[in-house]
Amino acid sequence: DTEVTQTPKHLVMGMTNKKSLKCEQHMGHRAMYWYKQKAKKPPELMFVYSYEKLSINESVPSRFSPECPNSSLLNLHLHALQPEDSALYLCASSQNNRVHEQYFGPGTRLTVT
């Protein structure tokens, strides 16, 4: 199983809402990542988890809160987002955080109204 799954596929939320994005992999990978991608732009790294611990936070605003409950799951909790946060949110995993080959999920298309 070389699949990274993400739920939901689409999400529309208001600026006062709280929602969560979920990512799951069962490849035994010990590094997991969150990226944000705006239309016609490259993915931008947000967070990296290594062995369930946050190892990189690319100065992401606190309205984005990552969580790694176990080695297979990665969540991104969203609160008080702004319309400019609308984007495709991609999750990825890799064998560890020193390996470049990452497996990406299909993403969650987020719209903030």
Partner 1 sequence: LAKTTQPISMDSYEGQEVNITCSHNNIATNDYITWYQQFPSQGPRFIIQGYKTKVTNEVASLFIPADRKSSTLSLPRVSLSDTAVYYCLVGDNGDTGGFKTIFGAGTRLFVKA
Residue 7 in the binding site for partner 1 (CB under 8 A): no
Amino acid found at 105: G
The three-state secondary structure class of 85 is: helix
Residue 98 in the binding site for partner 1 (CB under 8 A): yes
Residue 52 in the binding site for partner 1 (CB under 8 A): no
Q: What is the DSSP letter of 83?
A: G
Q: What is the DSSP letter of 6?
A: E
Comparing CB distances to partner 1, the nearer of 51 and 82 is 51
Residue 21 in the binding site for partner 1 (CB under 8 A): no
CA atoms within 13 A on the CB side of 108: 28
Q: Given the structure tokens 């299909």, which residue do they identify?
A: 106
Residue 66 in the binding site for partner 1 (CB under 8 A): no
- Give the footprint of partner 1 on this chain (CB under 8 A): 4, 31, 33, 41-45, 48, 50, 55-56, 58, 88, 90-92, 96-107, 109
